[in-house]
Amino acid sequence: MKIATFNINGIKARAEALPNWLDSAQPDVVLLQEIKSVDEAFPRDLFEERGYNVETHGQKGFNGVAILSKLPLEDVSRGLPGDESDEQARWIEATVVGKQALRVCGLYLPNGNPVELAEDGSPVPGGKYDYKLRWMERLRTRAAELLATEEPALMAGDYNIIPQAEDAKRPEAWREDALFRPESRAAFRRILNLGFTEAFRARVQGPGHYSFWDYQAGAWNRNDGIRIDHFLLTPQAADLMRDCGIDKEVRGGDKPSDHVPVWVELDI
């Protein structure tokens, strides 16, 4: 089974490029972020005519996540547990029914910028960076619950986290950014250290591998990128992994997103 994650930065803007990539890459399951559409306006027909079941958790104008699956989807859940007041559409999960069940969780983790700090260096309560770190703590709780099932599961999407210096062409430029601040990376490690495998780094080592390039300042032409789209696999899913990669060539297509797809292949 080939599973991909792709921040498309607006379904309307990618209404041609996304189907073209699907036809070429033929993923079985796709986790989308930043669909920037309410559920009712999402162009389901584009994907259903290609054999995908479609589940969305949309929001007007920004955020929004979706699952496309050529296999049946069961027990769909929307919204990251832990804060009933959180109205941002950043989490969707479902069970994909193949040779065996796989729980897939699609996420769009908060960016967190601008970073607002109090005099003691702690995040300002209610600020965007505070929201990011609190969201990650809720994510850690859900991650622990997934591990406790002892079944194949994964959490994938745009984490808005640069895990290590090698995941940025110019790490010094991101030092005070919410994506690379030590608190953000520590929160990511706390989730990873519960017992997850970061799929890409389990297969590929070294610098130069990115999934995001800013539209500005010629970042793409200079390969001035960062790697912020990740797959975290439970041990049961990691045992089934055959490969993982980044479809970098998609960034060079017509009307590209600022992200490219990342994918894993599982023997499931």
Report the alpha-carbon distance of residue 155 to residue 239 in Å, rounded. 15
209 is in an annotated binding site: no
Encoding tokens for residue 6?
């792709």
Q: Respond yes or no: is residue 108 known to be catalytic.
A: yes
Asked if residue 158 belongs to a known ligand binding site, the reply is yes
The catalytically annotated residue of 52, 108, 129, 210 is: 108
| HEC secondary structure over the chain | CEEEEEECCCCCCCCCHHHHHHHHHCCCEEEEECCCCCHHHCCHHHHHCCCCEEEEECCCCCCCEEEEECCCEEEEEECCCCCCCCCCCCEEEEEEECCCEEEEEEEECCCCCCCCECCCCCECCCCHHHHHHHHHHHHHHHHHHHHHCCCCEEEEEECCCCCCHHHECCHHHHCCCCCCCHHHHHHHHHHHCCCCEEHHHHHCCCCCCCCEECCCCCCCCCCCEECCEEEEECHHHHCCEEEEEECHHHHHCCCCCCECCEEEEECC
**20 annotated among ligand-binding-site residues:** no
Which one of the listed residues 28, 158, 167, 177 is annotated catalytic? 158
Known binding residue 7? Answer is: yes
Is residue 34 part of an annotated ligand binding site?
Answer: yes
177 catalytic? Reply is no
- From 57, 159, 167, 259, active-site residue: 259
Q: Flag whether 160 is marked binding.
A: yes
Does the annotation count 224 as an active-site position? no
Catalytic residues: 108, 158, 259
- Binding-site residue ranges for Mg(2+): 7, 34, 158, 160, 258-259
- Binding-site residue ranges: 7, 34, 158, 160, 258-259
